[in-house]
Amino acid sequence: MRSAGLLVACWLGAFARVASGEKVCLSNVDGTIGPATADYISRSVDKAQSEGVQCLIIELNTPGGLLDSTRVIVQKLLGSPVPVVVYVAPTGATAASAGCFITLAANVAAMAPATTIGAAHPVALGGFSGANESKPDQTMTQKLENFAVSYMEAIATRRSRNVDWAKSAVRESASITAEKAKELQVIEIVARDLNDLLAQLNGRMVNGRPLRTADAQVVEIKMSWTEQIFQMFWRPEVMFVLMLIAIYGLIGEMTTPGAILPGVTGAIALVLALYMAAILPVNVAGLLLIGLAVALFLVDVFAPTHGVLTAGGMVAFLVGSLMLFDRRDPLFRLSLSYILPSVLVTSAFFVLIVGKGLRAQRLPVKVGKETMIGKLVHALTPIDSIRGRVFVEGESWSARSAIPINEGDKVQIIAVEGLTVTVVPKP
């Protein structure tokens, strides 16, 4: 009976929301902040404006992301004519690094219980990850930190939030819970779920007008398939795998010309890897070490080094993979569970597949017309420059010779043209 009553209450609540005519748009951001996320949020704001909804709710759970993408999102939120509510949820979610900037840029900031916000230091944000050096330049790091602090201060001031804590989130990587964030006036609402959030938003003054969200219909805005694909690609592991596919495909096409499929696959993977390298903080030294490893593998195929270059290639590949991304930042850290199998598979690929393929190409021809050249055979008939016949490998062949040859004489084949051999008297 009780469950039936709850079901009826849910039906009545849903009916009331539809009947009220008010709408609320909902977007879900779960993962790192990158170009795809910036496009998704910008599109959500535009759609919410065109729909004339009460507000746009962005449900957020992110470990951080790129500074450039974060700036695009913050600018869109600060200039949005539609009230934007950033809701850090579900329970256990976090708005770290880039997520802290985005949350504070919203008209209304809300969090679910047992969630956290903060740790917005610019290194964790991905603004500078030592792409050209093993250690970031201290002057550049200080400049970036000062910019992030002033940027966070401007956002907090614009939204009338705790400026001192916002600055400490950047300088000291401060992180707090939802309850503490509300106490420090970093956020306005702590809501158990979406329904609780809508109830607490109802009647709140935003942009000079009250929100009517108590019985509003929630319209979800989902990521497009292109945004989902690029969001999935925006991961160090995916770029690493694409780079391996590019290596295997292009080397495979070089060792087996005309196969086409390995070359096409490798070229597509290479283009995608280069696109991601322009977004992710890639270490150039790591890329060079991986390229050196591939060169050592190839040289060892031709040079009799007894595996010394292959061992050096494995070490270079391992070190290059470890250096490929900034391991101080968990957002861009490439797991050893990807690196170690890749080193072993790549080494085996070059030693067992590429090595045997290239050696096979260098072996002397054992079948076909080329094997007939240089053989000594007997003339079945007299041979001149026009006609004659010889017996080769169990078959009778047409033959010709610039020097007349008698029947039964031994001759040497010097050329094969179609079904006719050119011979000369036995040397």
Please tell me the predicted confidence (pLDDT) of residue 7.
Answer: 45
Domain boundary among 325, 343, 362: 362
206: in domain: yes
Where do the DSSP E strands lie in 140-193?
Answer: 175-177, 189-190
Q: Does residue 111 share a domain with residue 9?
A: yes
Write down the pLDDT at residue 2: 43
Give the pLDDT confidence score for residue 277 in this predicted structure.
Answer: 74
CA dihedral sign, ordered 71, 76, 79, 82: negative
Give the 3-state secondary structure of 326-340: CCCCHHHCCCHHHHH
- Examine the domain organization and report whether 67 and 180 are in the same domain: yes
Tokens of 121: 């230091």
Handedness of CA 262, 267, 268, 273 (dihedral sign): positive
Q: Does residue 84 carry a pLDDT above 90?
A: yes
Question: The domain spanning residue 395 has which CATH number?
Answer: 2.40.50.140
Gap between the Cα atoms of 356 and 293, Å rounded:
18
321 closest CA partner among 346, 355, 296, 295: 346
**Least confidently predicted of 119-123, 224-228, 271-275:** 119-123
Is residue 375 a contact partner of residue 369, using CB atoms and an 8 Å limit?
no
**Overall number of domains in the chain:** 3
Question: What whole-number distance in Å separates Cα of residue 39 and Cα of residue 276?
Answer: 16
State the CATH number of the domain containing residue 195. Answer: 3.90.226.10
- Please report, for the chain, how many H helices and E strands are present, in that order: 16, 16
The fraction of the chain above a pLDDT of 90, given in percent, is: 34
Last residue of a domain, one of 174, 194, 224: 224
The reported pLDDT for the residue numbered 18 is: 45
- The sign of the torsion formed by the CA atoms of 26, 56, 152, 200 equals negative
137 in any annotated domain: yes
pLDDT of residue 336: 78
- Same domain, residue pair 204 and 244: no
Res. 263: pLDDT tops 50:
yes
Q: Are residues 198 and 301 in the same domain?
A: no
Q: What is the pLDDT at residue 6?
A: 43
Is the same domain home to 319 and 410? no
346 lies in the same domain as 262: yes
pTM above 0.85, yes or no: no
**178 with 317, same domain?**
no
Give residue 329's pLDDT.
Answer: 57
Whole-number Cα distances in Å, 356 to 263, 359, 362: 19, 5, 10
Q: What is the structure's pLDDT at 189?
A: 96
For the segment 264-283, the average pLDDT, to the nearest whole number, is 80
Residues 6+ apart with CB under 8 A from 178: 88, 111, 112, 113, 114, 115, 116, 117, 187, 190
Residues 199 and 65 in one domain: yes
- Asked whether residue 282 is domain-assigned, the answer is yes
351 with 268, same domain: the answer is yes
pLDDT category, 402, cuts 50, 70, 90? confident
Same domain, 61 and 197: yes
User: Confidence band (pLDDT; 50, 70, 90) for 274?
Assistant: confident
**Of the candidates 308, 332, 362, which is a domain's last residue?**
362
Q: Which of 45-54, 159-168, 325-334, 387-396 shows the lowest per-residue confidence on average (mean pLDDT)?
A: 325-334
pLDDT digits (tens, 9 = 90+) for 366-391: 555 666 777 888 888 888 877 888 88
pLDDT of res. 305? 62
Range scoring the smallest mean pLDDT among 261-265, 325-329, 370-374, 407-411: 325-329
Q: Would residue 229 count as lying in a domain?
A: no
Residue 67 lies in a domain: yes
Q: Reply yes or no on whether the pLDDT at 249 is more than 70.
A: yes
In this structure, of 240-244, 301-305, 371-375, 391-395, the range with the lowest mean pLDDT score is: 301-305
For residue 377, which of 397, 402, 350 has the smallest C-alpha distance? 397
Residue 230 inside a domain? The answer is: no
409 or 149: which leads in pLDDT: 149
Assess contact for 343 and 321: CB atoms under 8 A: yes
pLDDT value of position 247? 83
Q: Which residue has the tokens 């002033």?
A: 150
User: Lowest mean pLDDT: which of 95-99, 166-170, 255-259?
Assistant: 255-259
* Cβ proximity of 421 and 399 under 8 Å: yes
Query: Encoding tokens for residue 210?
Result: 């009250």
Residue 285: pLDDT above 80?
yes
Exposed, middle or buried: residue 104 (CB in 10 Å: 0-12, 13-18, 19+)?
buried
245 vs 351, higher pLDDT? 245
Residues 269 and 194 placed together within one structural domain of the fold: no
State yes or no: pLDDT of 294 exceeds 60.
yes
Candidates 158, 189, 159, 184; CA nearest to 169 is 184
Say whether pLDDT at 331 is over 80.
no
Q: Domain of 377?
A: 369-425
Residue 130: per-residue pLDDT? 35
Question: CB of 74 within 8 A of CB of 103?
Answer: no
Rounded average pLDDT over 408-421: 82
What would the mean pLDDT of 391-410 be, rounded to a whole number? 82
Tell me: do 318 and 380 sit in the same domain.
no
Measured between alpha carbons, how far is 123 from 67 in angstroms, rounded to an integer? 10
Query: Which is more confidently placed, 20 or 212?
Result: 212
Residue 287 has pLDDT above 70, yes or no: yes
Q: What confidence score (pLDDT) does residue 261 get?
A: 82
pLDDT in tens, 53-66: 999 999 999 988 88
* Mean pLDDT to the nearest integer, 147-165: 94
| Helices marked H in 303-354 | 308-323, 336-348
Most distant CA atoms of the chain, gap in Å: 115
Q: What is the mean pLDDT of residues 256-272?
A: 81
- φ/ψ of 80, rounded to 5, equals -75, 130
Average pLDDT over residues 143-164: 92
The pLDDT of residue 236 is: 80
Distance CA 212, CA 201 (A): 8
